[in-house]
Homo-oligomer: A and B are copies of this chain.
Amino acid sequence: MTRIRNLRTLDVRFPTSRQFDGSDAMNPDPDYSAAYLILQTDADERFWGRSFVFTIGRGNDVQTEAVRALHQAVVGRDIEDVISDLGGFARRLTNDSQLRWLGPEKGVMHMAIGAVINAAWDMAARYAGKPLWRFIADMRPEEIVACIDFRHITDALTSTEALDILDAADAGRAGRAQELTARGYPAYTTSPGWLGYSDEKLERLARQAVRDGFRTIKLKVGADPAADLRRCRIARHAIGPDIGLAIDANQRWDVAEAIEWLKPLADLDIAWVEEPTNPDDVLGHAAIRKAVSPMRISTGEHAHNRVMFKQFFQAGAVDLIQIDAARVGGVNENLAILLMAAKFGVRVFPHAGGVGLCELVQHLAMADYVAISGLMEDRAIEFVDHLHEHFVDPVRIERGRYLAPSAAGFSAEMHAKSLEDHLFPEGRVWRTTAA
C-alpha cells in the first residue's frame, strides 16, 4: 500500500511589483505568489502531487498556513483510495464540519482545500501517465459525475442533466482530442494592456500581439475615464477591426458608475467587459448588463464557488464567464461550473496569468472542449507571458494558441531551483532585495 506521508508547503513569491507587471485598477502592486504544496508519498517523486494557491503577495503566508492545516486530513491516506475516488476525497475536505465555518466554501480556507484537491488530481493524472486534460477527457461520463458535489446547485443542474451533457459529448471525444492535439486551443493576451504601461508601450505590444497570432487582446481599465477611452482607441487602431478588444475593470465600479463609465466605449466594439463591479454582486452585474446591452458582461476569476456561478447563470447576469483553476474547490468544483456553463449556453474564457495560472487552467478548458461543451473556437484562454520559465512543464503558445500539454499531470510543478530562490523571505531573490 502506498501512502501520502507528508503535505509539504512552501511560501514562494516573485517580486513582480518592481516592473508594474500585472497592475490594474484594484491591484496596483502585485507580487505574484504561490502557496505551493507537494503531496509526498512512498512512491517515486515523479508520482507526487503538486499544486498551489495563487496570491499577489502579502497574505501568502496565511494562505500557506491554511494549506498546512490540511496536513492531518491527508497524511496517512492510501493513494489508491484517493485516486479511485476523487469525488469522495474532495467532498470530505470541503465538508469538514469545523473548517466549514471559516467559509463556508470561500476565501483562504476554500482555496487551500482546492489546492490540495488539485494536487490529488495531479497525482492521479501522473499515475495514469496522462496530462490532466486527457485524464479527464478519458473518464466515463458517470465517473465525471461522481466527482461533482451537486449540493446547493440542483435547482440549476442535476446529476441527470450533467450526465446528459456528458453523454451527448461522448461520441465526438476522439475527434476533438485529435483536433486539439493538432491545432491547440485559442488564447487571448492581456500582456499589452496593464494600467501601468505607457500609451506607446500599449500600442507597440498590441501590434505585436496581432503579429503573434492572438485574435483577442484585453486592456485593464477603471483608473480614469478619459484615459480608458484614449487607451481603447489606441488599441483598436493598433489591432484593426477584426481583432477582439476586451476590457477588464477589476471590480472598480459601483453599479451606476459602471453604466456611466461604459457609455463612451459603446462604439469601440468591446468583446467583453470583465469584472465591472464587486464579484459577489450577481444582481449588480445583471443590472449593468441590462443597461449597457449589447455590450457583453463577464466575471468569474473571483467568483468563489459553484453557488455564485449558478446565480450568475440563473439571473442572466453575464454573457460569458471566467473560471480560475486556483480560486474554487479544485477540479471537481470547476467541472460543476463548466457543466452549468454548458447547460446555460454561456461561453467560458478562463482566467490566467499571475504565476502558473496559465499552466493549470489550460487543462480545464481543454477537458471542457473534448468532454463537456465540445466547443473551443468561440472562446479563448487568457495568456500572459510571465514566469513560465519556473515550471517544469510550461505552457507552449504558438500562433496565438495553447498547444495541448503532453506530459503527465496538471503542469503545476515548479523547478526546485525556482522554489528555492523565491522562498519568502529567506530565498536568494528576497535576500538580495532586502539588501
Report yes or no: A278 in contact with B307, Cβ–Cβ below 8 A. yes
Of all A-B residue pairs in the complex, the 6 with the closest CB atoms, nearest first, are A107-B107, A108-B108, A57-B98, A58-B98, A152-B278, A155-B255
A281 at the interface (CB under 8 A from B): yes
In angstroms, how far is the closest chain B Cβ from the Cβ of A424? 12
Report yes or no: A97 in contact with B27, Cβ–Cβ below 8 A. yes
Q: A155-B287, A283-B315, A287-B155 are in contact. Are A101 and B55 (CB under 8 A)?
A: yes
Report yes or no: B100 in contact with A107, Cβ–Cβ below 8 A. no
Report yes or no: B282 in contact with A154, Cβ–Cβ below 8 A. no
**A144-155 to B contact mask, C-beta < 8 Å, 1/0:** 000000011111
* Contacts beyond the supplied A106-B106, A154-B257, A284-B311: 8 A-B pairs with Cβ under 8 Å: A59-B98, A62-B66, A102-B107, A108-B108, A151-B278, A152-B254, A155-B284, A284-B307
A170 at the interface (CB under 8 A from B): no
For A154, A308, A311, which residue has the most chain B Cβ atoms within 10 angstroms? A311
Q: Is the interface of A mostly helix, strand, loop or mixed?
A: loop
Report yes or no: B109 in contact with A59, Cβ–Cβ below 8 A. yes
User: Among the listed stretches A28-36, A74-82, A114-122, A374-382, which one makes contact with chain B, having 4 or more residues with CB under 8 Å of it?
Assistant: A28-36
A69 at the interface (CB under 8 A from B): yes
**A280-297 to B contact mask, C-beta < 8 Å, 1/0:** 111110010000000000
Q: A104-B251, A152-B277, A254-B154 are in contact. Are A28 and B282 (CB under 8 A)?
A: no
A244 at the interface (CB under 8 A from B): no
A139 at the interface (CB under 8 A from B): no
A-B contact pairs, 15 of them (CB 8 A): A30-B101, A57-B98, A58-B96, A59-B66, A62-B108, A105-B278, A106-B304, A108-B108, A151-B278, A152-B284, A154-B256, A280-B308, A281-B311, A282-B282, A284-B307
In angstroms, how far is the closest chain B Cβ from the Cβ of A123? 24
Residues of B within 8 A of A345 (CB): none
**Residue total for A at the interface (Cβ-Cβ under 8 A):** 62
Report yes or no: B107 in contact with A106, Cβ–Cβ below 8 A. yes
Report yes or no: A58 in contact with B62, Cβ–Cβ below 8 A. no
Which partner residue on chain B sits nearest A103 by CB separation?
B107
Report yes or no: B98 in contact with A56, Cβ–Cβ below 8 A. yes
Inter-chain CA distance A65–B58, complex, in Å, is 13
In angstroms, how far is the closest chain B Cβ from the Cβ of A162? 15
A314 at the interface (CB under 8 A from B): yes
